[in-house]
Amino acid sequence: MTFLKRYLIPRLFQYFLVIWLGITVVFLIPRLTPNDPVMRMIGEMRGRGSTLEPGAMDGIIRDLTQMYGLEGSWLDQYWAFWVRLAHGDFGVSFFQFPTPVNKLIATAIPWTLALLLTTTAISWIVGNIIGGLAGYYSRKGWSRTLDAIAMVIRPLPYYIFAFSLLLLFAYVVRWFPITGGASLGAIPSLSWAYIKDVLWHSILPALSLIILGGAVNFQTMKLFVQNTNSESFVQYAKMGGVTEDRIVSKYVIRNAILPQITGLALSLGQIFSGALITEIVFSYPGLGMLLYRAIINGDYNLIMGITLLSIVGITTAILVVDLTYPFFDPRVRYN
């Protein structure tokens, strides 16, 4: 009972509150923009040379408004949105009409998950291991060299670093393709030829995320290790004759890595920072590129669908880390 009252229930309440607030904000923001998707669709129809009578035009506007869930006041739209959401229906896309939002997300999400989860895991593991060793052996020449390199790389914006890799390895050296997730006309399959083609196209986007993410984890972990290394229990272990390898692995890095576990869950938010920009630079067919096109075209339904997915994913990851944190840190108890 103590676990439920003091630990689980408050965190579940925060979990659902954050999701509700996030979805509400996402619902409101697109409607505050000057883009009107219905009039945009009418403009595109006229741009293609379609001529309609005034009465027919009014009927089309009415039908599109109802189909897009923009009928009635904002309160009516908000209630209708939650009703559709309860049935797992995000509606149809505005700029890829009449394709359902669910289908667009289902097509793009494997690309983003494969890119984001892989690069996040590699940058977190490699960055923390090398950063931990560099923090403990901070006086070594290799540690100072890596720290200097990380200080140069870390402040670089994602789009600058990604664009630099694109120029160097795609335009100058021409080792990798310029854009896309696979060769033009390639048919998705489980064959080695298609898998190799996808991996070849993903190297530059993955490399940009791994290097920048690894530099952040490296410097953060290095700082944590240096602070932990000055703690009294570490000094006592050194005076007690504990081997240096055991001190590094069991005492220093094990304690310094605890804040990084929380950072691992928060790093999933890269879809709105590095991953989004990286996908735009490399025209990678993931959720980031899809979200960018939705924002440009004022696609309310698609924006809300992708953002809702991100909100639920990030808050769920944080909840899981929060509930499992006592297993990693014995100082934290459920009661």
Share of the chain above pLDDT 90, in %: 0
Name the burial class of residue 286, with classes exposed (0-12), middle (13-18) and buried (19+) by CB atoms within 10 angstroms of its CB: buried
**Class of domain 101-328 (CATH, top level):** mainly alpha
Sign of the C-alpha dihedral computed for residues 218, 265, 300 and 286 taken in this order: positive
Q: What are phi and psi of 100, to 5 degrees?
A: -65, 145
What pLDDT, in 10s, does the model give residues 38-61?
666 666 656 655 555 655 566 666
Supply 33's token pair: 């923009």
Please list the ranges in the chain whose pLDDT falls under 50: none
Q: Supply the pTM of this predicted model.
A: 0.73
Q: Where are the domains of the chain?
A: 26-89, 101-328
pLDDT, residue 108, reads: 83
